[in-house]
Chain A
């Protein structure tokens, strides 16, 4: 091509380029959102993933006729976002992985109290005493262990025994994980500052391997990096289902600590309604739906968490919640996260 572009050609080309550049801009201006949002929809910020939450939200809309859009992300990321947004938050409901995150929003005055009838659905201890958030499902702290290298009777009854040098180099944990931090806060509150510090020092001396999250820690047990991981109970099902689908067995089992031991803490995934919501009725309907028998059964079967509403059966092979004898530490007492962080930073367990 050696023909010189004429002036006419050039202006056509110029117009073409300009048009091409303007088209996406016009498209953007036309549609504020690539996926259209239905009229009157409530917005749910979810710290839990779509594979889990998506189907039950679809059921909510089917049953109640209220459309909902869900914004997925990590629990802490979404909490940070709500804190940044303040009363301008588009969120109506927050579905959190952890009680501590909900408690952060309470401290910032961003959650509205729930109705008494709603609160009455869940036993005390699994909801905020001031009624600002409610647990939707329970998660027990356990030691996930390798069934290839350990038998159940080799595991200690108390989590405190993991400081024994016999466990050196064999423990995995995720010290930045919200559930673990809540667990340490519970230790400080139940056993006192010195005992909690001694335990952390012992775990550190045992060179516990640091994982980014619980999933990675349990995978570390499965692939031989560590023998036990201090995690929540339900990761096992997800990972073993994936392994079984691939025709493999997943060589990990859960060990529950003795009833009453501080190791046997039960945390929650729960819900709060934003004080700034302009759809309080619809938001309340969403919370109520997640506490309905249908949703509770769904969580029990899908995630193998503990349903918190009475009369819903737990998944097969799970120690009943009542038998766990969870230690008497209220989840809304786990407020001193700052103290836990300071302690763990001092011991250089987290940054």
Chain B
């Protein structure tokens, strides 16, 4: 029942798009069926599959390294490799464009070594895949991490004792059990890449989502944009079904491990490449945007009239910062509450309802932001006009938009709880809810926490919905950053960008200190 309600909520934007697209004329249809549209669609497919592949390639090794090995400085690396989750992809794109400009700092740095000419330009499909990979690999990482904490390490240990090296043991002993979580994380990365508009626009990669944003931007053409959004949604459905098949083929019910802490894998000389991997990812995904923001801050400081009057911008950022934390925090809590029943249905009761909830939540996440935001405007005016542009509606809409994101790690961890465990509790006299509470909950807690963090960090940087639905007069860090940066006001964008990064880093750091999230 709660699942059905959530599904209906997630389906509202689709209903809106159908209403808008129903007014479609021949012109819009002709626009959809011209060769250029096919080209845009192909670009979107390439960007989204490239991003998913990249996110797996970074996310899975990083999850394993930071959880199951003796990587030096593992705690710090864990925080550092998760933190890029909070870097808005459009900020990362700005940073890459600035760093890789013909006279930008990257070329200045590599010029003396003769490598400047070797550096690629930031623009185009390849640039978009790199930036989106760096923005989305934490999705795979967190999902994998949550599953990994619950995978019994003994299979891998047996493999090692039989002579396998650490990587081989991981591949044969651990990876198959992680596949559902990895696939779920990769699906999110793909859906994000499909719907993201900001970074592809800055990087000039012609994707379908960018075309949709242009349609709104240039012409306020809501009908054509709705039609195109529906096409994108069908593409998202395709991805969901693909992931569904992978998952069904590899679904392995793993007996829940006890609370045994696995022995960390000794990396030996492999720790150098491992450290290099961590360092380069952190450099690109975190240090480059942080330095860009720092450069803006320096300019802001230098340009402040009457010398270093930095308190003004700091005070200016406090309001948006507390609004952002309050909104993202509430939406993360609401989202997590909505996610748990969905995750249980998806993990435990595969059937129509599970499939429907999966499609609905994925669609809500994959529809381009501006279409989703306008749908929310429409729906909230039609259903609860008195609450239009109030925090409760904003929080609910943000939560619904990101359900797929929160559900992934939770579903992954629920799947790892064998039915036998709760059955055992019941055979010992517990009622079903008590069994779930006493035995199930502790086992899925890492997944729930991962889901809540994902929601918090993602909603903190969320843009389109906030731009349209925050109460008039309320400003969030992300809306401040975006409206200033698009106007070339990098100086004004500096403080909100810095605050956004700081809050994200602090919350990731705080989170990873709590023992439930990192049981090692």
**Which residues of chain A have a CB within 8 Å of any CB of chain B?**
14, 21, 24-25, 27-29, 31-35, 37, 41, 43, 48-52, 69-74, 76-77, 79-81, 83-85, 88, 90-91, 101, 104, 175-176, 178, 181, 210-213, 215-216, 218-219, 223-225, 235, 238-239, 241-242, 245-247, 337-338, 341-342, 345, 348, 350-351
Q: Quick check: B488 and A88 within 8 Å, CB to CB?
A: no
Name the distance in Å between A51's Cβ and chain B's nearest Cβ: 4
Q: Quick check: A79 and B491 within 8 Å, CB to CB?
A: no
Partner of A73, one of B327, B333, B483: B483
For the complex, is B518 an interface residue (Cβ under 8 Å from A)? Answer: no
Name the distance in Å between B282's Cβ and chain A's nearest Cβ: 26
| Docked CA distance A342–B500 (Å) | 40
For B12, the chain A residues whose CB sits under 8 A away are: none
For the complex, is B362 an interface residue (Cβ under 8 Å from A)? Answer: no
For A341, the chain B residues whose CB sits under 8 A away are: 218-219, 221
The closest CB in chain B to the CB of A34 belongs to: B323
Q: Quick check: A85 and B381 within 8 Å, CB to CB?
A: yes
Q: Quick check: A34 and B474 within 8 Å, CB to CB?
A: yes
| Docked CA distance A211–B215 (Å) | 16
Q: Quick check: B492 and A212 within 8 Å, CB to CB?
A: no
Name the distance in Å between A130's Cβ and chain B's nearest Cβ: 20
The closest CB in chain A to the CB of B204 belongs to: A210
| Docked CA distance A35–B323 (Å) | 8
For the complex, is B378 an interface residue (Cβ under 8 Å from A)? Answer: yes
Chain A interface SS verdict (over half): helix
For A48, A83, A85, A175, the residue with the greatest tally of chain B CB atoms inside 10 Å of its CB is A85
- Given A49-B483, A69-B472: A351 in contact with B222 (beta carbons within 8 A): no
Q: Which 5 A-B pairs have the closest CB atoms?
A: A69-B473, A245-B303, A215-B488, A351-B211, A33-B471
| Docked CA distance A192–B175 (Å) | 65
Partner of A215, one of B201, B300, B327, B487: B487
The closest CB in chain A to the CB of B487 belongs to: A49
The closest CB in chain A to the CB of B94 belongs to: A216
Contacting residues of chain B (237-265) with chain A, CB-CB under 8 angstroms: none
For A25, the chain B residues whose CB sits under 8 A away are: 330, 333-334
Q: Quick check: A21 and B472 within 8 Å, CB to CB?
A: no
Name the distance in Å between B397's Cβ and chain A's nearest Cβ: 13
Q: Quick check: A76 and B217 within 8 Å, CB to CB?
A: yes
- Contact sample, A vs B, 27 pairs, CB 8 Å cutoff: A24-B330, A24-B334, A27-B330, A28-B330, A29-B392, A32-B392, A33-B471, A34-B323, A34-B471, A37-B471, A76-B216, A77-B468, A80-B216, A81-B468, A84-B222, A84-B374, A84-B381, A85-B377, A90-B388, A101-B220, A104-B220, A176-B214, A211-B204, A212-B204, A219-B488, A242-B303, A351-B36
Q: Quick check: B377 and A84 within 8 Å, CB to CB?
A: yes
| Docked CA distance A212–B206 (Å) | 11
For A77, the chain B residues whose CB sits under 8 A away are: 216, 370, 467-468
For A73, the chain B residues whose CB sits under 8 A away are: 467-468, 479, 483
Q: Quick check: A348 and B491 within 8 Å, CB to CB?
A: no
For B337, the chain A residues whose CB sits under 8 A away are: 21
Contacting residues of chain B (185-238) with chain A, CB-CB under 8 angstroms: 201-202, 204, 206, 210-211, 214-222
| Docked CA distance A116–B470 (Å) | 35
For the complex, is B368 an interface residue (Cβ under 8 Å from A)? Answer: no
The closest CB in chain A to the CB of B389 belongs to: A90
For the complex, is B416 an interface residue (Cβ under 8 Å from A)? Answer: no
Name the distance in Å between A213's Cβ and chain B's nearest Cβ: 6
For the complex, is B432 an interface residue (Cβ under 8 Å from A)? Answer: no
Q: Quick check: B486 and A215 within 8 Å, CB to CB?
A: yes
For B488, the chain A residues whose CB sits under 8 A away are: 215, 218-219, 235, 238-239, 242
| Docked CA distance A24–B332 (Å) | 10
Q: Quick check: B473 and A37 within 8 Å, CB to CB?
A: yes
For B295, the chain A residues whose CB sits under 8 A away are: 246
Name the distance in Å between B72's Cβ and chain A's nearest Cβ: 29
- Given A90-B388, A212-B202: A246 in contact with B218 (beta carbons within 8 A): no
For A245, the chain B residues whose CB sits under 8 A away are: 299-300, 302-303, 491
For the complex, is B176 an interface residue (Cβ under 8 Å from A)? Answer: no
Partner of B220, one of A76, A216, A218: A76
Q: Quick check: A351 and B467 within 8 Å, CB to CB?
A: no
For B300, B334, B475, the residue with the greatest tally of chain A CB atoms inside 10 Å of its CB is B475
Looking at the complex, which of B47-55, B100-108, B284-292 is the stretch in contact with chain A? B100-108
Q: Quick check: B220 and A223 within 8 Å, CB to CB?
A: no
For the complex, is B385 an interface residue (Cβ under 8 Å from A)? Answer: yes
For B326, B374, B381, B472, the residue with the greatest tally of chain A CB atoms inside 10 Å of its CB is B472
Q: Quick check: A225 and B471 within 8 Å, CB to CB?
A: no
For the complex, is B155 an interface residue (Cβ under 8 Å from A)? Answer: no
For the complex, is B436 an interface residue (Cβ under 8 Å from A)? Answer: no
For A35, the chain B residues whose CB sits under 8 A away are: 319, 323, 471, 473-475
For A85, the chain B residues whose CB sits under 8 A away are: 377, 381
| Docked CA distance A179–B323 (Å) | 33
Q: Quick check: B217 and A225 within 8 Å, CB to CB?
A: no
For A218, the chain B residues whose CB sits under 8 A away are: 488
Contacting residues of chain B (345-399) with chain A, CB-CB under 8 angstroms: 370, 374, 377-378, 381, 385, 387-392, 395
For B334, the chain A residues whose CB sits under 8 A away are: 24-25
| Docked CA distance A7–B388 (Å) | 44
Q: Quick check: B218 and A178 within 8 Å, CB to CB?
A: yes
The closest CB in chain A to the CB of B215 belongs to: A351
Contacts A37-B473, A50-B484, A341-B218 aside, 18 further interface pairs with beta carbons under 8 A come to A27-B326, A28-B330, A32-B390, A51-B484, A51-B492, A71-B472, A73-B467, A73-B468, A74-B483, A76-B216, A77-B216, A80-B216, A80-B222, A84-B377, A90-B389, A90-B472, A242-B491, A247-B302
